[in-house]
C-alpha cells in the first residue's frame, strides 16, 4: 500500500490550488488543473500526479503559472514537477523493480484486431517468463500500446513472482547509463545490474542504431541473459529486418523468439479507448455517438485519440457548449479560413527545414548536423517546433528526423514555447518562417536583416 501523502504537502497544494482557482477561468481550472494531486515534496520541488491526458498540456502551457503560485506560498520551494499517477518519486522503491511510470495492466489494455496477437504473446510471456517466447519482440508505430504491454508484463510478473529481479529501461536510458559507467566508476556495476536480471524489458530499441559501443554491450548482455534463461522483451517502431543500422548479429538475435506486430486500432477499438479515457478524465463521459464521431475522425493511434478528446472537451468547457457530434465536427474539422494556406496539408518536413534555413541563413548541415552555435541551435529548435505543430510528429518521430534523443526534442519544444512572447526574436523568426511556408514561391518574401 502506498504511503499517505504528508498533511503539510497536501495543505500546501490546497493553498496553491486556491490561488490558481482565483486567478484562472473556471473552465480552464476545472479541465486542466483540478485533476492534479499532491504526491510528495523533496527539497525545492513539489511533485504532483497528473493524468496522462492532461500532463503534457499543463507542462507546456501552465508550468510558469504553477511555479509562480508555488513560490508565493512556499518561498523555499520553486518548482512543480508533474508525474504519472502511481509513479515513484524520491524515496520510493527502486526503478529496477518497476515497469514504466504510469504503465497500465493487461486488464486495462483494449484488445482489437490490430493488437490481439501481440497481447496474447505478451500475456504468455508474463505467465511463463523465460519459457514461452524468448525474446519477445513487439513492434509497431508510436502510440499503439507497446509501452503499455511492457508495463503490463512487468506488473504481472512482479505481482506473481516478487522474488524476480525485473529491469525496465529504454534504449536511450541503457545508452546513457552505460556511457556514465564508462566515464565514472567503471562498467562492472552496470553489467551486474542488467545481466543478473530475471526479466529485462527494453523499450524503443531502434535508438541503439549507430551507437556501436552500446550495441556491443547490449549484444553481450543479451547473450548472458538468454543463456541464463532470463526473459527478454523488446519493443521497436519497426521489425528487426528494418533496423538496418543495427549490427546484423544483433538483429538476428532479435528474431530468435517471437516478433509480434501491433497495428492501428479499428473503429470499435478506438471508440472503447475513448470511452475509457473519458471515464478517467471527464466528470461525465460524452455519449457513445460523440465518441464514435471522434474515433471516426482520428484513425491513427492512442496518443492522437487522447489529443482529439482533450481538444473536444476543452472547447466544450471553455465555450460552455454541449458535447454533440456537430461540436466534434467543428473542433476536429474546422471550416477553411480565408487565410489558410493552399496546400497546407501537403506540407513536408523538408519544406519546414528549407524555410527555417532560408530565414535564418543556415545551411542544411548547420540545421541537421552537430553544430552548437546559437544560430544553429535556434534554427533546430524552431524547425522541431514547427514539425510538431504543423505535422503532428511524435517525440520519437522528431528524434529520428533530427538524430537526437527525446530529452533534447522535449527541451527544444519547451525552449520555443518559453520564448514565444510578443516582440521576441523567436516570435518574429517564427512568423517569417510561417509566411514563407504559406507562399513559398512569392518573390516578395525576404530574409530578416
In CATH, what number is assigned to the domain containing residue 70? 3.30.300.180
Query: Cβ distance 179 to 77 under 8 Å?
Result: no
In this structure, is residue 338 part of a structural domain? Answer: no
In this structure, is residue 448 part of a structural domain? Answer: no
SS3 39: strand
Domain containing 382 equals 344-438
What are 97's three cell numbers?
Answer: 523493480
In this structure, is residue 62 part of a structural domain? Answer: yes
Q: Are 140 and 208 within one domain?
A: yes
Q: Are 370 and 427 within one domain?
A: yes
In this structure, is residue 268 part of a structural domain? Answer: no
Tell me which of 308, 332, 356 is where a domain ends. Answer: 332
Number of domains into which the chain is organized: 4
Residues 41-48: what's their mean pLDDT? 82
Tell me which of 285, 305, 332 is where a domain ends. Answer: 332
Q: Are 128 and 231 within one domain?
A: yes
Q: Are 33 and 129 within one domain?
A: no
How many residues appear in the chain?
A: 449
Q: Are 318 and 200 within one domain?
A: no
Q: Rounded CA gap, 27 and 88, in Å?
A: 30
In this structure, is residue 110 part of a structural domain? Answer: yes
Q: Are 61 and 201 within one domain?
A: no
Q: Are 295 and 147 within one domain?
A: no
Q: Are 126 and 251 within one domain?
A: yes
In this structure, is residue 393 part of a structural domain? Answer: yes
pLDDT tens, residue by residue, 321-370 = 888 988 898 888 653 433 333 334 467 888 999 999 999 999 988 888 88
pLDDT tens, residue by residue, 409-436 = 888 888 888 887 667 788 888 888 888 8
Residues 129-136: what's their mean pLDDT? 92
| DSSP-assigned states of every residue in 355-369 | HHHHHHT--HHHHHS
In CATH, what number is assigned to the domain containing residue 379? 1.10.1750.10
Q: Rounded CA gap, 53 and 51, in Å?
A: 5
Residues 301-312: what's their mean pLDDT? 85
Q: Are 229 and 158 within one domain?
A: yes
What is the structure's pLDDT at 439? 67
Q: Are 103 and 175 within one domain?
A: yes
What share of the chain in percent tops pLDDT 90? Answer: 28
Res 107 pLDDT > 70: yes
Give the largest Cα separation in the chain, rounded: 70
Q: Report the mean per-residue pLDDT for the chain.
A: 82
Closest CA to 33 of 392, 317, 298, 347: 317
Is this model's pTM higher than 0.75 or not?
A: no
Residues 44-54: what's their mean pLDDT? 81
In CATH, what number is assigned to the domain containing residue 207? 3.40.50.300
Tell me which of 50, 83, 116 is where a domain ends. Answer: 83
pLDDT tens, residue by residue, 210-266 = 889 999 999 999 999 999 999 999 999 999 998 988 999 999 999 999 999 998 888
In this structure, is residue 1 part of a structural domain? Answer: no
Query: Cβ distance 367 to 381 under 8 Å?
Result: no
In this structure, is residue 313 part of a structural domain? Answer: yes
Q: Are 162 and 307 within one domain?
A: no
Q: Are 136 and 231 within one domain?
A: yes
Amino acid at each position: 500500500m502506498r504511503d499517505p501523502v504528508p498533511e503539510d504537502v497536501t495543505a500546501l497544494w490546497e493553498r496553491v490550488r486556491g490561488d490558481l482557482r482565483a486567478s484562472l477561468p473556471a473552465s480552464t481550472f476545472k479541465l486542466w488543473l483540478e485533476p492534479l494531486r499532491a504526491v510528495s515534496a523533496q527539497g525545492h520541488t513539489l511533485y504532483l500526479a497528473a493524468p496522462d491526458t492532461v500532463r503534457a498540456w499543463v507542462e507546456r502551457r501552465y508550468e510558469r503559472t504553477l511555479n509562480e503560485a508555488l513560490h508565493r506560498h512556499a518561498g523555499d520551494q520553486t518548482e512543480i514537477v508533474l508525474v504519472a499517477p502511481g509513479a515513484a518519486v524520491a524515496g520510493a522503491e527502486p526503478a529496477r523493480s518497476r515497469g514504466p511510470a504510469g504503465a497500465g495492466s493487461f486488464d486495462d489494455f483494449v484488445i482489437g484486431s490490430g493488437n490481439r496477437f501481440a497481447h496474447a504473446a505478451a500475456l504468455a510471456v508474463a505467465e511463463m517468463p523465460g519459457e514461452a517466447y524468448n525474446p519477445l519482440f513487439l513492434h509497431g508505430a508510436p502510440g499503439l500500446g507497446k509501452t503499455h504491454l511492457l508495463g503490463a508484463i512487468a506488473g504481472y510478473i512482479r505481482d506473481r513472482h516478487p522474488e524476480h529481479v525485473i529491469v525496465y529501461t529504454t534504449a536511450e536510458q541503457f545508452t546513457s547509463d552505460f556511457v556514465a559507467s564508462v566515464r565514472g566508476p567503471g562498467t562492472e556495476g552496470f553489467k551486474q545490474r542488467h545481466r543478473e536480471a530475471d526479466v529485462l524489458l527494453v523499450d524503443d530499441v531502434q535508438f541503439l542504431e549507430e551507437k556501436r559501443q552500446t550495441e556491443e554491450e547490449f549484444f553481450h548482455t543479451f547473450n548472458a541473459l538468454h543463456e541464463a534463461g532470463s526473459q527478454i522483451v523488446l519493443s521497436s517502431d519497426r521489425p528487426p529486418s528494418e533496423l538496418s543500422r543495427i549490427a546484423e548479429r544483433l538483429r538476428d538475435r532479435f528474431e530468435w523468439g517471437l516478433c509480434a506486430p501491433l497495428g492501428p486500432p479499428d473503429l470499435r477499438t478506438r471508440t472503447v479507448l475513448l470511452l475509457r479515457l473519458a471515464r478517467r478524465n471527464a466528470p461525465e463521459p460524452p455519449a457513445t455517438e460523440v465518441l464514435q464521431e471522434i474515433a471516426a475522425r482520428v484513425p491513427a493511434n492512442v496518443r492522437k485519440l487522447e489529443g482529439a478528446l482533450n481538444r473536444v472537451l476543452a472547447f466544450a468547457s471553455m465555450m460552455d457548449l454541449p458535447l454533440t457530434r456537430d461540436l466534434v465536427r467543428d473542433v476536429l474539422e474546422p471550416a477553411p479560413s480565408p487565410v489558410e494556406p493552399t496546400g497546407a496539408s501537403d506540407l513536408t518536413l523538408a519544406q519546414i527545414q528549407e524555410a527555417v534555413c532560408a530565414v535564418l541563413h543556415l545551411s542544411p548541415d548547420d540545421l541537421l548536423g552537430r553544430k552548437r552555435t546559437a544560430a544553429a541551435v535556434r534554427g533546430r529548435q524552431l524547425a522541431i517546433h514547427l514539425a510538431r505543430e504543423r505535422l503532428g510528429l511524435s517525440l520519437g518521430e522528431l528524434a529520428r528526423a533530427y538524430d537526437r534523443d527525446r530529452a533534447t526534442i522535449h527541451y527544444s519544444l519547451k525552449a520555443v514555447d518559453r520564448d514565444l512572447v510578443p516582440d521576441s526574436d523567436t516570435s518574429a523568426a517564427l512568423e517569417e518562417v510561417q509566411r514563407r511556408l504559406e507562399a513559398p514561391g512569392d518573390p516578395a518574401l525576404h530574409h530578416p536583416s
